[in-house]
Amino acid sequence: MQTETPTDIQTEAQTIDQFKDIRPYHDHEVRPVVDALLANPEFIRSIAGFSFPKLYRMLPGLVCWLTKRKLTAQVSTVNNVKTMQDIIAVYMDQMIEKTASKLTHSGLENLSHDKAYLFISNHRDIAMDPAFVNYMLYHAGFNTVQIAIGDNLLKRPFVTDLMRLNKSFIVRRSLKGRELLKSSKLLSEYIHHCIDKGWNVWIAQREGRAKDGVDRTDTALLKMLSMARRETGLKDSLSALHIVPVAISYEFDPCDTLKADELYQKKELGSYQKDERSDINSIVTGMIGFKGHVHVTFGKEIHLDSDDADAAAAKIDEQIIQNYLLQPTNFFALELLRKTEPELIPALELPAEIPADNDGSRAKFAERLAAADPKIRRWLLQMYANPVISRYSVGKDDPFAAQLDSDEQQVES
């Protein structure tokens, strides 16, 4: 894939050094990190166990040896960010071919090759959301993105190395108080630095995936983004980032039952406890699970009229909600939810025509629903139906406002 990493790192040493703990690796750092990964037994064991689970349980030593040998050959030519991303692009093409029945996009005509953008996206999948955005940009000849990733996902050092090799930078979510404020300002400065240097950036519209299918931008994100140039005001600071909303739509969410179970436990049992493998399980399931039709819509650069963060969030939300490609599965879920939980459906003005079931989506969706634990089916249906409700609810009030306020309180606590 393309890279915007400076070729002469030394000339920017003073500027870049302040970001060294969070930024992606630069060209001259890539080969040493790759060599360290190949020499890391934990990394090799993880790849071996993931790639050949049954054989690994029987012959772990042999499988690890073969895995290391294969990886060493595959990355033998990697010596900078571009060669690393070229290898990733091959694997991404293969994965998409296996797990998506159709991949489409719209809105690329809204972008200029002469400008860098901050893509603020709805968030359905940990790894695949930015991967699909990158895929579209790469094949259209645009520069790929630097990816914001929360440190809650980086439980092991080798995972951090892998992410930073793939142009990811770290969002410190585990800090508190003064340290969080300092980290947020540094993050804001880094994102502004990227845009100033002509490097595209991807970040989710709020912390964590929208497990319930409700896509809304957190104003705290926008306030963080403006911190680097607070003296100019929020409007001018955000305008300098050339924000483009992105809407990603999956016909089938590979993690739908995992998300529905988490929602059930939080709402009905009062809490949900992650174990150390929850995030890894979600990442792997999202990567290898069947997605059906995936569509990525690039919106238009937003233009702000004031320093009001709520107004800025509303402009982003409007594009994401309106540009989100509603799939047949979204309407199937709404139809079933009306029958089983009609009190959950507000007044709607649905379009005269809805997506047709041209490829057996209804039968596939019914199979997924039947296979799910009955107690989580309501949450699974809501997850798929809520994008329709967001688009077509009657009235000016957000039908999910109370729910979002409750979620914010839970995050803060």
Separation between Cα atoms, residue 245 and residue 385, nearest integer Å? 21
Whether 407 maps to a domain, the answer reads: no
Whether 413 maps to a domain, the answer reads no
Q: Is the same domain home to 249 and 303?
A: yes
Residue whose structure tokens are 């911190």: 227
Both 64 and 137 in one domain: the answer is: no
In a domain, 73, yes or no: yes
Using DSSP's 3-state secondary structure scheme, residue 347 falls into coil
Phi, psi of 389 (to 5 degrees): -60, -40
Q: Please say whether the beta carbons of 376 and 257 come within 8 A.
A: yes
* CA quadruple 368, 371, 372, 374: dihedral, nearest 10: 120
Domain-embedded: residue 311: yes
Instruction: Examine the pLDDT at 412 and tell me if it is beyond 70.
Output: no
Answer yes or no: do 21 and 115 share one domain.
yes
258: pLDDT strictly greater than 90: yes
> What separation, in Å, do the N-terminal and C-terminal C-alpha atoms of the chain show?
41
Q: What is the pLDDT of residues 327-345, one digit of tens each?
A: 999 999 999 999 999 999 9
Same domain, 52 and 175: no
Same domain as 217, residue 166: yes
Has this prediction a pTM greater than 0.75? Answer: yes
**Count: domains in the chain:** 2
Res 413: pLDDT = 29
Same structural domain, 65 and 85: no
Query: Domain check: are 67 and 133 in the same one?
Result: no
Domain co-membership, 175 together with 135: yes
391 occurs within a structural domain: no
Contact 88, 96 (CB under 8 A): no
C-alpha R_g of the chain: 22
CATH number of the domain within which 232 lies: 3.40.1130
pLDDT (0 to 100) of residue 236: 97
Sign of the four-CA dihedral 219, 223, 224, 226: positive
Phi and psi for 217 in degrees, rounded to 5?
-85, 135
Q: Does residue 393 sit within a domain?
A: no
User: Checking DSSP bridges between strand 292-298 and strand 243-250, what pairing results, if any?
Assistant: antiparallel
Same domain, 201 and 247: yes
For residue 250, is it within any domain? yes
State yes or no: pLDDT of 401 exceeds 80: no
**Residue 44 structural domain:** 40-77
Q: For 65-78, what is each residue's pLDDT tens digit?
A: 999 999 999 999 99
As a whole number of angstroms, the distance between CA 67 and CA 64 comes to 5
Model confidence at 93, pLDDT cuts 50, 70, 90, reads confident
Is 148 inside any structural domain? yes
30-39, 158-167, 398-407, range with the lowest pLDDT: 398-407
Span 256-270, mean pLDDT? Answer: 94
User: Please, which pLDDT band fits residue 6 given cuts at 50, 70 and 90?
Assistant: very low
Task: Examine the domain organization and report whether 296 and 152 are in the same domain.
Answer: yes
What pLDDT digit, counting tens, does each position of 291-339 carry? Answer: 999 999 999 999 999 999 999 999 999 999 999 999 999 999 999 999 9
Residues 222 and 86 in one domain: yes
Same domain, 73 and 125: no
